[in-house]
Amino acid sequence: MKVVQIGVGGWGKNHARILSQIGVLTAICDVDSNKAKEVGTKYSVNHYSSLDLLLESEKFDAAIVCTPTSTHFSIATNLLQQKKNVFVEKPMTYLSHEGEHLRNVAHKNKVVLTCGYVERFNPAVGLVKEYVKSKRFGELIMLEFHRENRMPLHIKDVGIIYDTSVHDIDTAMWLFDDTPEVVFARSGKIRHDHEDFATIVLGFKDNKIAIISSNWITPTRIRKFEAVCGDAIISSDFISQEVKIITENGIEIPKKEIEEPLLLEIKNFLAACEGKEELLVKPEQAVNTTKIAEAALLSSQKGTPIYLDLK
Ligand SMILES: NC(=O)c1ccc[n+]([C@@H]2O[C@H](COP(=O)([O-])OP(=O)(O)OC[C@H]3O[C@@H](n4cnc5c(N)ncnc54)[C@H](O)[C@@H]3O)[C@@H](O)[C@H]2O)c1
């Protein structure tokens, strides 16, 4: 397979490294020609400063789009119309109806479209998903997520809900294997142009709940969650990938390998493009996450819960 990397800023550099490591990196594109040249030279591939130039000059099967959120829709539309398989970083689009359009174009052109909800590939989340599915520690009742980080001032187009909380919105739906019926949120801003702290409550059927708390106010980097099940509380750290199970009998820390979630995510995308594996993050799921982010913003503006009817 031949894969191009579009956007090689802070996060896109990681995609380029992994694509090169797998042996499929074909070209780099970034509107910042210095960055395009630096990464293109590092991995000995062609580099371009515009998508049009790249499309005119390169033959390829798939593209990874890792540019600011506000640019995802136009770049991905262009690529899907050229019948390329596309991986778009999260959130798939700023507006949910744009995401629905991308999904329809991908479907019509029979190409793969996915979105970078990388925590699904985090081995810690994978283990908790196994426990929840098998009900080894009883029914999953409640999820609590906590993320904090220093202010990412380079992110100009979205606030913390679209940038950060979306990871936990996706993980909550993945672990409950369901979509929420209602969203209630409070958010505000201290130093960023958009909201820089938010708490989102997602209400699922049978009074199941996810509480998502995110802030860009502290200098610390924390990414954790707790899954409250009928017979245990499972706590997990997205960064260290440690999982801790607390039951009446004590604390258990299962042993497992640390793996790079982004590598697993890119491998799943490439295998899905070749028809070898089922795609884990489906476009309609990414659209639902954007709909919930929209509802969370609206809820925090109106001060009321927003009821949803997601499929
Ligand atoms: N999955 C994750 O864990 C994760 C982590 C970080 C960022 N992200 C996502 O990745 C995307 C990029 O974030 P970042 O932190 O790397 O941002 P960044 O600002 O560091 O990098 C964005 C890059 O895109 C380039 N760019 C802008 N417009 C372009 C265009 N039209 N064509 C080609 N290149 C263009 C910029 O020059 C820049 O180099 C965002 O969607 C973000 O939400 C995902």
| d(CA 129, ligand 1 centre) in Å | 29
Give ligand 1 pocket residues (Cβ under 6 A). 6-12, 29-32, 35, 51, 66-69, 71, 75, 89-90, 116, 118, 154, 163
What atom in ligand 1 is closest to the CA of residue 67? 24
Residue 126 burial by Cβ neighbours in a 10 Å radius (0-12, 13-18, 19+): middle
Residue 232's pLDDT band (boundaries 50, 70, 90)? very high
CB 214 within 8 A of CB 164: yes
- If one counts every other C-beta atom within 10 angstroms of the C-beta of residue 226, the result is 17
Q: What are the pLDDT digits (tens) for 153-182?
A: 899 999 999 999 999 999 999 999 999 999
Compute the average pLDDT of residues 110-121: 98
**Domains with residue ranges and CATH for the chain:** 3-116 (3.40.50.720), 119-258+282-307 (3.30.360.10)
Q: What are the pLDDT digits (tens) for 12-63?
A: 999 999 999 999 999 999 999 999 999 999 999 999 999 999 999 999 999 9
| d(CA 9, ligand 1 centre) in Å | 5
Q: Amino acid identity of 287?
A: V
| Residue-level pLDDT at 311 | 82
Residue 300's pLDDT band (boundaries 50, 70, 90)? very high
pLDDT at 76 over 90: yes
Compute the average pLDDT of residues 113-134: 98
Q: What is the DSSP string of 8-56?
A: -STTHHHHHHHHHHHT-EEEEE-SSHHHHHHHHHHTT-EEESSHHHHHH
Q: What are the pLDDT digits (tens) for 206-223?
A: 999 999 999 999 999 999
Q: How many CA atoms lie within 13 A of 59 on its CB side?
A: 1
Compute the average pLDDT of residues 272-293: 98
Closest CA to 202 of 223, 174, 234, 243: 174
